[in-house]
Amino acid sequence: MNNNKPKVAFICVHNSCRSQIAEALGKHFASDVFESYSGGTETKPHINQDAVRLMKKFYDIDMEKTQYSKLITELPEIDIKITMGCNVICPFVDSKYEEDWGLDDPTGKSDEEFEIVITEIEKKVKELADKISNQKLY
């Protein structure tokens, strides 16, 4: 495994929904380009169950097997920080590069709302992998 891959942290407050989806899709689509992590300033006892169910349905990924809600203090040193669009002050994590994806939290909303957010995260993960591959970041 190439240890020179940048470490990407997907950050939101609770680390239970959008950031977990991004971590899973980062691992699924871009593990050859970057290492995916997620974290928050608070944790939830479980990953959002709608997110878990829909990730199984769309990608056959079981997030509960490989991921859990964790604090940003548990993350390794990060190269790239992606905030999900917290609508509050996003947690500070030192990084060489950062983006805010400005995604609405679908928690408590319909499957259709989740599907929109999941599709957008997939698109952005692939765009990020492309930018990193073409060395257009930091």
User: pLDDT by residue (tens digit) across 12-51?
Assistant: 888 999 999 999 999 999 999 999 999 998 999 999 999 9
- Please check whether residue 26 is in contact with residue 34, taking contact to mean a CB–CB distance below 8 angstroms: yes
The model's pTM? 0.93
Task: Give the C-alpha separation, 46 to 1, whole Å.
Answer: 30
Does domain 7-130 fall into CATH 3.40.50.300? no
Residue 79 pLDDT exceeds 90:
yes
Task: Give the C-alpha separation, 96 to 122, whole Å.
Answer: 23
Domain positions in the chain are 7-130
Measured over the CA atoms of residue 94, residue 29, residue 53 and residue 121, the dihedral's sign is: positive
